[in-house]
Chains A and B, each alone.
Chain A
Amino acid sequence: MARVLPPASGGDGLRVELERVELDLLVRLCEGLAGRLRAGGDDAVIARLAPAASRGDAEADAELRRLLRGDLLGGRAERLERLAVELRSWAGRVGPGDGVAADLAAEEALALLQGLNDVRLALGAQVGVEDLDRGTLAVDDPRAVTLGLMDRLGGLQQGLVEHLA
């Protein structure tokens, strides 16, 4: 189970411990989302990650989107690709059990935090979390599985925030 701890060497930053299956999953989620953002087009995920910048003023929003959207999506894809490369490099950092452990500087932890958030937002958008009543989903509903994953990544994210604050 993913854990966030104070850094082994003291000082700023933090230590993250992950099971290998968690690490592999995170790498795949980051790469998958980066690929999705690079492909462009319009769907719920893109709409959530490049949201309206000016509500109630369609003209201003269209103009802002033209200005911001390319940078926003391209920059985010690049960030996720960098994070995936970084996460792959953790495979050699042996942690407890058969897992991995990585000591991260504050800025590295922030990059992981942002990547986790991007992935969680994308998972939420995929299942239409805005309009979903979670209480009514059957346990084996694929959307419930996706939301469970979103929550689990949220637990790791919460640990990172607490150590960064």
Chain B
Amino acid sequence: MAGAAPAAPVVEPDLGVDERHRADPPWVVIVWDDPVNLMSYVVLVLRRVFGFDAATAERLMLQVHHEGRALVAREPRERAEHHVAQLHGYGLLASLERDA
């Protein structure tokens, strides 16, 4: 996977990724559902943190609400960490994962 830390102690199966996937940033930011955050607040936070338009933020919020989680960004690890920290600052449940 492009951009993975060379010393990462994770054994990854050879997935035969093609060049297109190789060029993709290898981390994703996930927002998780929780019973306290208001739906309207989650939309506001997604717009402020990622600059989404209203329709995109609304769609992602509804995905979180109905499916329990939504992928909101796919980007290099450092940016993903920064965004997760910002989302935690706003009180959203968010995490980053290596892109599958």
Q: Which residues of A contact B (CB under 8 A)?
A: 49-57, 59, 61, 64, 67-68, 71-72, 75-76, 113-114, 117-118, 120-121, 124, 129-130, 150, 154, 157-158, 161-162, 164-165
Contacts and interface: CB of A to CB of B under 8 A. Distances in A.
Given A51-B88, A72-B89, A121-B91, A64 B81 contact: yes
Contacts of B40: 158, 161-162, 165
Given A162-B40, A165-B40, A52 B95 contact: yes
| Contact-residue size bin, chain B (C-beta under 8 Å from the other chain) | 20 to 34
B93 interface: yes
A47 to B, nearest CB: 11
Most buried by A among B41, B90, B97: B41
B34 interface: yes
Interface in B37-63: 37-38, 40-41, 43-44, 54
B70 interface: no
A56 B97 contact: yes
Contacts of A150: 36
Given A158-B38, A165-B44, A53 B88 contact: yes
B97 A114 contact: no
